């Protein structure tokens, strides 16, 4: 069995999509449709920068989606491949869930682009710049990360250094057995980074993000997405989606909408999702538009086959094996 998987934020880079668009009219059509849906020259930002503009959450999210969908479209056209015939499940990391749903024809491309643009704006606006932060804990599993987060909050509370309501510091992404991301108020995240090594993590690194994603501070963004998804035409995907917040396969459109709303504030259970897919019989994972999830999958399930598809050569090589 096979799963097609799609990366999340952080996989963007200036120049992305350019070679695909130059080599294939179908890929170029994807980028043109996204530009038209958003009313902006996103593809120009993707290919020419500046990097700071591409890094903006409201640009990075639809850009990463467009790049992955363009890669899939080239495979479908050049290789004569139908997604429903060649994969059993789809999954994506955070924004990658929207890409997965677009790939599986639950959402059309223009709707997906507009939803991700709104999602990016709403997530950025939910917390004033500088008040939130995220950090990667390396060499720590989710249990250890939870202990570090709890200790960081307790240390600040014990010092009487916080008087602004609930102090948030929680696991945001359970990526793989050796990498967990925490999110919340900046003082707590910084304290967690300081505590991490003495509590057993190999290393802790503050992430260059502009907001604390996947924690309760994102509730205003979740509310915005609930309203937008309530009006969106979301159909049953061609194959089931393994969702981030429950790590189970879903195909019902109403359930998927509710899970996408929960995902804004909830933990990305990527490690558990991969294990669940393996338990369901998946032995091959194909990542489209990036080389981020593949290494995570191999750390979670070393015996599976992982293919990352980014370039025309990658696409041609994959088409021969499907």
Q: What are the residue numbers of the active site?
A: 94, 214
CA distance 204 to 195: 9
DSSP label at 91? E
How many Cα atoms are found within 13 Å in the side-chain-facing hemisphere of 156?
A: 24
CA distance 11 to 172: 18
Token code pair at residue 295: 């290494």
Which are the contacts of 176, defined by CB distance < 8 A and separation ≥ 6?
270, 271, 296, 297, 299, 300
Q: Which contacts (CB < 8 Å, 24+ apart) does range 17-20 have?
A: 17/43, 17/46, 17/47, 17/63, 17/66, 17/67, 17/70, 18/46, 18/47, 19/311, 19/312, 20/67, 20/70, 20/71, 20/74, 20/311, 20/312
Query: Counting every residue, how long is the chain?
Result: 322
Chain CA centroid to CA 254, Å:
21
CA distance 289 to 64: 7
Coil, strand or helix: which one is 308? strand
Cβ–Cβ under 8 Å, residues 241 and 90: yes
Helices and strands, number each (H, E), in the chain: 15, 10
């Amino acid at each position: 069995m096979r799963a097609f998987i799609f990366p999340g934020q952080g996989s963007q880079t200036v120049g992305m999509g350019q070679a695909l668009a130059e080599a294939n009219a179908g890929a170029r059509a994807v980028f043109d449709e996204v530009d038209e849906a958003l009313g902006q020259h996103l593809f120009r930002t993707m290919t020419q920068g500046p990097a700071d503009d591409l890094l903006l959450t409201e640009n990075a999210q639809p850009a990463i989606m467009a790049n992955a969908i363009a890669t899939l479209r080239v495979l479908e056209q050049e290789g004569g491949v139908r997604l429903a015939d060649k994969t059993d499940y789809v999954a994506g990391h955070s924004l990658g869930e929207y890409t997965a749903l677009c790939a599986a024809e639950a959402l059309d491309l223009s709707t997906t682009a507009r939803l991700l643009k709104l999602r990016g704006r709403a997530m950025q606006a939910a917390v004033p710049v500088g008040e939130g932060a995220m950090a990667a804990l390396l060499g720590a599993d989710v249990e250890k990360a939870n202990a570090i987060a709890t200790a960081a909050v307790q240390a600040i509370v014990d010092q009487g250094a916080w008087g602004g309501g609930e102090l948030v510091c929680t696991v945001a992404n359970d990526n793989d057995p050796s990498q967990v991301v925490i999110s919340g108020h900046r003082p707590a995240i910084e304290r967690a980074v300081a505590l991490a090594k003495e509590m057993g993590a190999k290393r802790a690194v503050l992430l260059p993000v502009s907001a604390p994603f996947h924690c309760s501070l994102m509730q205003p963004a979740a509310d915005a997405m609930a309203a937008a998804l309530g009006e969106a035409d979301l159909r049953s995907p061609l194959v089931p989606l393994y969702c981030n917040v429950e790590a189970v396969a879903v195909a019902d459109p109403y359930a998927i909408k509710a899970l996408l709303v929960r995902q804004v504030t909830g933990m990305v259970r990527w490690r558990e999702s991969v294990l669940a897919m393996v338990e369901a019989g998946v032995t091959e994972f194909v990542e489209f538009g990036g080389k981020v999830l593949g290494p995570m999958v191999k750390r979670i399930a070393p015996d599976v086959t992982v293919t990352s598809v980014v370039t025309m050569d990658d696409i041609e090589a994959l088409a021969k094996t499907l």
